[in-house]
């Protein structure tokens, strides 16, 4: 098979089915996990558990998502994305159902935090790695569309959770979400296929066109490029994790009703949809790294905007700006990884960057809860997020792609 033929296979129309499946799976998985911010106050009021204690379940979830990402990513490199995504879908539905039955805070933290977080990790990194392998052209747009599907969660699953908890208790709400996850995600997982370059009998020939073909997994994860991607993603996610998780509660403390406060989350998600597509198009045109660096700088000042608002209209304005930017930059990490590392280890590399991002996400819920419990205000959370955001921008500035001669040097070493 010629390179041209391989290229035609790589651009198979089925790649858009992979994008659709990835977006749907991500939407339900992320939506199930992020139902907790909506259920935070109902859970605390019904059980008597502290805000910090319930918030900690989300922190534990992000930690599980972090360490699960690189593990599931490595498994997807070895066994293919379908097996991993299917296992994660079943585990997510089961763990949400079990969390709805928790009778103690510790049990809830372990089931929702550890198991739901680990199950969600089985979706993100394997699907992002899979999608980057299906695309040579329009790669930034494709990855951004999958991310946009995930971004549908605030506009779909969050309002659904808010409506359900207004009609039923939080336990029934969580059980219904578990059923929805099972019905949608398990069938969608069967649509997932490995990229043609890995399916082909001529995969070795296709691999010759891969970036850094000669680099090993060990060398890749020790490279400055990988370390900088990890650090940037960590500080990037630490910037917006607190504002994402606590803004609904912050709005309620400002006197805004819960249903209206949840709509802020939805507005942020809607803006994020546009941001993902816009940043994807910009990434294809100007380069993923340049767009990422610019976005990180803008993100720092966007999250600071929450410090100055107390009315619903102000929350809407800042949420739209923040959602547009942070949602837009997130898919670009996978694109940069694909441009610098071979497809055969993409699950591991993207899983590693997802691990770092999840660790950053884990900081926000816990720190925000501690700040509120200690000072009875969220103001310092947004100031701290601004400083962390500037740190992410400065770290990203230091990223340099592998030099063109790296492959030859690696082969000679």
Q: Three-class SS string for 89-128?
A: HHHHHHHHHHHCCCCCHHHHHHHHHHHHHHHHHHHHHHHH
Say if CB 269 and CB 323 are below 8 A apart: yes
Burial readout 86-118 (b: 16 or more C-beta within 10 A, e: otherwise): bbbbbbbbbbbbbbbebeebeebbbbbbbbbbb
How many residues comprise the chain? 413
Say if CB 6 and CB 210 are below 8 A apart: no
| Residue 344 within a domain | yes
C-alpha 93/C-alpha 88 separation (Å) is 9
Q: Which residue has tokens 């923040």?
A: 322
C-alpha 331/C-alpha 338 separation (Å) is 11
* Nearest partner of 178 among 94, 109, 118, 113, judged by Cα: 94
| Residue 342 within a domain | yes
C-alpha 402/C-alpha 379 separation (Å) is 41
| Residue 204 within a domain | no
* Nearest partner of 112 among 60, 70, 150, judged by Cα: 60
* Nearest partner of 398 among 292, 327, 280, judged by Cα: 292
Residues contacting residue 198 through CB under 8 Å, at least 6 positions apart? 80, 133, 343, 344
| Residue 349 within a domain | yes
Q: Which two tokens stand for residue 249?
A: 């509660």
CATH number at 33 reads 1.20.1250.20
Q: Which residue has tokens 């043609």?
A: 196
Residues contacting residue 141 through CB under 8 Å, at least 6 positions apart? 277, 280, 281, 283, 284
Q: Which domain holds residue 254?
A: 8-196+210-412
C-alpha 96/C-alpha 33 separation (Å) is 9
C-alpha 223/C-alpha 82 separation (Å) is 29
Give the dihedral sign, CA 377/380/381/383: positive
| Residue 246 within a domain | yes
C-alpha 246/C-alpha 349 separation (Å) is 30
Residue segments in the chain with a per-residue pLDDT below the cut of 70: 1-11, 154, 197-214, 216-217, 403-413
Residues contacting residue 153 through CB under 8 Å, at least 6 positions apart? 26, 27, 28, 30, 31, 34, 269
| Residue 203 within a domain | no
| Residue 201 within a domain | no
Q: Which two tokens stand for residue 20?
A: 């659709």
C-alpha 155/C-alpha 136 separation (Å) is 30
Total domains in the chain come to: 1
| Residue 3 within a domain | no
Q: What is the pLDDT of residue 8?
A: 44
Residues contacting residue 406 through CB under 8 Å, at least 6 positions apart? 212, 215
């Amino acid at each position: 098979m010629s390179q041209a033929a391989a290229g035609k296979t790589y651009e198979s129309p089925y790649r858009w089915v992979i994008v659709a499946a990835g977006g749907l799976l991500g939407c339900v998985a992320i939506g199930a996990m992020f139902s907790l911010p909506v259920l935070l106050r109902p859970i605390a009021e019904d059980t008597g558990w502290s805000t910090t204690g319930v918030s900690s379940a989300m922190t534990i979830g992000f930690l599980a998502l972090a360490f699960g990402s690189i593990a599931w990513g490595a498994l997807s490199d070895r066994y293919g994305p379908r097996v991993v995504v299917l296992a994660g879908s079943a585990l997510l539905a089961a763990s949400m159902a079990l969390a709805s039955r928790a009778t103690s805070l510790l049990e809830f933290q372990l089931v929702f935090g550890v198991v739901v977080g680990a199950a969600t990790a089985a979706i993100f990194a394997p699907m992002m790695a899979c999608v980057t392998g299906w695309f040579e052209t329009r790669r930034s747009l494709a990855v951004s569309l999958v991310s946009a599907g995930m971004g549908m969660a605030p506009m779909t699953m969050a309002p659904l959770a808010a409506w359900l908890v207004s009609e039923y208790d939080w336990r029934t709400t969580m059980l219904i979400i578990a059923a929805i996850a099972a019905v949608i995600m398990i069938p969608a997982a069967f649509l997932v296929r490995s990229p043609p370059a890995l399916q082909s009998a001529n995969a070795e020939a296709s691999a010759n066109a891969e970036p850094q073909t000669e680099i090993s997994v060990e060398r890749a994860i020790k490279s400055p490029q990988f370390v900088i991607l990890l650090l940037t993603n960590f500080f990037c996610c630490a910037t917006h994790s607190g504002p994402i998780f606590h803004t609904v509660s912050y709005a309620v403390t400002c006197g805004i009703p819960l249903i209206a406060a949840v709509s802020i989350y939805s507005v942020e998600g809607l803006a994020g949809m546009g941001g993902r597509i816009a940043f994807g198009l910009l990434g294809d045109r100007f380069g993923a790294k340049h767009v990422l660096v610019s976005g990180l700088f803008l993100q720092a000042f966007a999250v600071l905007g929450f410090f100055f608002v107390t009315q619903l209209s102000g929350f809407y304005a800042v949420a739209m700006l923040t959602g547009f930017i942070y949602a837009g930059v997130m898919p670009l990490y996978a694109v940069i990884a694909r441009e610098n590392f071979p497809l055969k280890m993409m699950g591991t590399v993207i899983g590693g960057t997802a691990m770092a991002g999840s660790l950053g996400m884990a900081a926000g819920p816990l720190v925000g809860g501690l700040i509120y419990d200690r000072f009875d205000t969220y103001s310092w959370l947004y100031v701290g997020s601004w400083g962390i955001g500037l740190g992410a921008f400065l770290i990203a500035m230091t990223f340099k792609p592998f030099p063109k001669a790296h492959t030859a040097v690696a082969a000679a070493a």
